[in-house]
Amino acid sequence: MQISFDFALALPEILLLIMAGTVLLIDAFSKSETRHSTFLLSLLSLLILTGVSLIQWNAGVAGTTFSGLFVVDSLSHFLKVLSYLAVLATLVYGRGYNEARDMTRHGGELYSLTLFALLGQMVMISAGSLLTVYLGLELMSFALYALVAVRRDHLQSSEAAMKYFVLGSMASGVLLYGMSMVYGATGTLDLTQIAEIIGSGQAERLPLVFGVVFIVTGLGFKLATAPFHMWAPDVYQGAPTSVTLIIAAAPKLAALAITLRLLIDGLHGLAFDWQPMLLVLAVLSLAIGNLTAIVQTNFKRMLAYSTISHMGFVLLGLLSGVIDGETHAAGLAYGSSLFYMVIYVLTTLVTFGMIMLLSHRGFECENIADLKGLNRRSPLMAAMLMLSMFSLAGIPPLAGFYAKLAVLQAVIGAGHIWLAVFAVVMSLIGAFYYLRVVKVAYFDEPEGEGGLIDTGAVTNGLMTINGALVLVLGILPGGLMALCVSVIRQSLQF
């Protein structure tokens, strides 16, 4: 095997590693309790990375390096840029929230850990080997475990971190065991070579199928799909809201990336085996997520169950790519899942960003009742809440409606009419708890925390842009949808 090292392909990862180390070093000598310098340096790092990836993407930089371990293609450029922007928005939304809770008083590890988690996500997105998938996953996971417990004096956060660590470690072990069985059956870790060996029929089928079962189980945990969802509600509720958004946004893009790399790039020849597994996970996620969210009174916990149902929709697109052994509709099907995930992350940024802006020192906006009379206190925040809830519910003309429609078209095209009907029924059930939140914000009398809400001009502007994108991408979704389908067709082998 010819060993190649093209460091230019990994330039964003190298820059991020240097910048994250610099942030960590500067923070070690900083005396400021607000960690203003490390905050600004983190934002600057993300802006530089966005520029570098856009330049590489525009220049057509693509290929594999480090002997096939690392892949750079249109999909990786696209998801990395989205990840940078999602993390940047998360840090801006969470700045005031973190200061009000003294989360940076004893150290600015919040920012360095967020950058290291992003580095793990970038490695996952560019994974060309089972080894790279696992390395990126563990780098991201360990940083997230620490972030959940960043408030060391907060009992609920510590409990959530312990649950997340134990269940996450178990899921990583399951995923690693599945990878080891695939390696044992094919004799290689390279995803392209695995696909070729499976396609040629040289590999023994039984260990491959067992490996797929464990891999799908591990991926189900990382995507927070039922029945592997038990960590999500506790972690979403127990973690500080700024950390909840770090977990809920960009990592979902990376989780989808490794799902595409593993199942589409590496194990597409076994689609007949893993598609039924995804179908079961999708049905359970839609049912458990929507039905359980109805009875929740904690807003963050409700959004966790909402996430589970949305991941069910993502799986619907993934299981619709291969129809009777044919892949002519695979680009549209997988593209619809990618589009859905992008819209989900965009809407999640609005929702959790708004929760952080409504929280202040001594008050945590966590319960749905805390939103009573929001329209009277801040019409902008109420409007953003309405946009995000309507989009998550799939109400036109918002982006969430077109995202659901695109996935349902792929499902119907694959011949799963009953599955599409089931998804629509579950979405109608889910609309109840989203509309309930809007009703509380617009029609209920305010309690306790009255008065006008004063948020900064920067966060107000970002929130407005964020909400406007949810509306504009619902009215004009064609460009983003075409881009998603294009990067899927250019990057994945099916």
Does pLDDT of 143 surpass 60?
Answer: yes
pLDDT of residue 120: 95
Q: Give percent above pLDDT 90 in the chain.
A: 65
The answer to whether residue 425 is domain-embedded is yes
Confidence (pLDDT) at 251: 93
Q: Following DSSP, what letter does each residue of 141-182 receive, concatenated?
A: HHHHHHHHT-STT-HHHHHHHHHHHHHHHHHHHHHHHHHHHH
**What's the total number of domains in the chain?**
1
Q: In the structure, what pLDDT confidence band is assigned to residue 33 with cuts at 50, 70 and 90?
A: low
pLDDT in tens, 184-243: 999 999 999 999 999 888 888 899 999 999 999 999 999 999 888 888 899 999 888 889
Let me know if 84 is exposed, middle or buried by CB neighbors in 10 A (0-12, 13-18, 19+).
Answer: buried
Q: How far apart are CA 22 and CA 19, in angstroms?
A: 5
Amino acid letter, residue 488: I
What pTM value is reported for the model?
Answer: 0.94
The domain of 104 spans 7-491
Which 3-state string (H, E, C) describes 16-74? HHHHHHHHHHHHHHCCCCCCHHHHHHHHHHHHHHHHHHHHHHHCCCCEEECCCCEEECH
Query: What is the b/e burial string over 220-232, where b = at least 16 CB atoms within 10 angstroms of the residue's CB?
Result: bbbbbbbebbebb
Task: Say if residues 463 and 365 touch (Cβ distance below 8 Å).
Answer: no
- Residue 258 placed within a domain: yes
Rounded to 5, what percent of the chain is helix, strand, coil?
75, 5, 20
Query: Per the domain annotation, does 56 fall within a domain?
Result: yes
Note the pLDDT tens digit of each residue in 332-370: 999 999 999 999 999 999 999 888 888 876 677 888 988
What is the predicted pLDDT for the residue at 362? 64
Whose tokens are 């990840």? That residue is: 83
User: Do the domain assignments include residue 467?
Assistant: yes
DSSP 3-state assignment of 327?
Answer: coil
269 inside domain:
yes
| pLDDT confidence of residue 305 | 94
pLDDT class of 30 with cuts at 50, 70, 90 = confident
Q: Which two tokens stand for residue 451?
A: 């008065």
Q: Is residue 1 part of a domain?
A: no
Is 2 within the bounds of a domain?
A: no
Whether the ω angle into residue 227 lies within 30 degrees of 0, i.e. cis, is yes
Count CB-CB contacts under 10 A for residue 142.
18
- Check if the beta carbon of residue 315 is closer than 8 Å to that of residue 255: no
**Within a domain: 462:** yes
Whole-angstrom distance between the N-terminal and C-terminal Cα of the chain?
Answer: 25
pLDDT at 81: 96
Tally of CB atoms within 10 A around 88: 19
Residue 294 has a pLDDT of: 93
The distance of Cα 491 from the centroid of its chain, to the nearest Å, equals: 20
pLDDT digits over 59-80, tens only? 989 899 888 899 999 999 999 9
